[in-house]
Amino acid sequence: MKNLVIYGDASKNSFNEWLGTWGLYIAFALAGVVFLTVLGLFLYTYIKGKKEGPIIKVSQQKVIKNEAALAALGGAENILDHSLNGSRVILVLSNYDAVNIEALKELGVSSVVKMTNKITLVIKGDASSFYKSLF
């Protein structure tokens, strides 16, 4: 079987000789590319995490959501029992007709499941923060 020739005469330059000459440089170049890629990903996530808004602004939004969500549920006196289960907020209400489903969907509720003895709100984002803003 003949040796693979990259350039020049087959008797002087084989692929193995070329790889022996340049292989270490190629390995260092690949390791450098991998290192720079990982470093870039870490920096991207670090910078992205720093760009969050001020804490005061977020807490003010939660207060607004709290009042709007309670109003959409018929008021705080309409809620008899409540619990959090994953991405769902489960409520037992005294008057299910007082619930404004459209207003709840504007506040981040993706769907509402009405049952005979409870109502389940499926939350798009962080259900625990929505739940904490209510209670």
- Are residues 4 and 32 both part of a single domain? yes
Instruction: Judge whether residue 72 has pLDDT over 50.
Output: yes
- Are residues 33 and 76 both part of a single domain? no
Residue 56 has what pLDDT?
38
Angstrom distance (rounded) from CA 135 to CA 130: 9
- Are residues 90 and 120 both part of a single domain? yes
Read off the DSSP letter of residue 75. Answer: -
Instruction: Give backbone dihedrals phi and psi of 112, rounded to 5 degrees, phi first.
Output: -125, 125
Map residue 73 onto helix, strand or coil: coil
pTM above 0.75, yes or no: no
* Tokens coding 116: 């005979």
Residue 58 has what pLDDT?
43
Model confidence at 77, in pLDDT bands (50, 70, 90)?
A: confident
Q: Which residues are CB-contacts of 1 (< 8 A; sequence separation ≥ 6)?
A: none
Instruction: Judge whether residue 1 has pLDDT over 70.
Output: no
Model confidence at 75, in pLDDT bands (50, 70, 90)?
A: confident
Model confidence at 55, in pLDDT bands (50, 70, 90)?
A: very low
Give the count of domains, the chain. Answer: 2
Asked whether 89 and 131 are in contact (CB, 8 A), the reply is yes
Domain that holds residue 130: 55-134
For 10-35, the pLDDT digits (tens) are: 555 677 787 888 899 999 999 999 99
Asked whether 120 and 92 are in contact (CB, 8 A), the reply is no
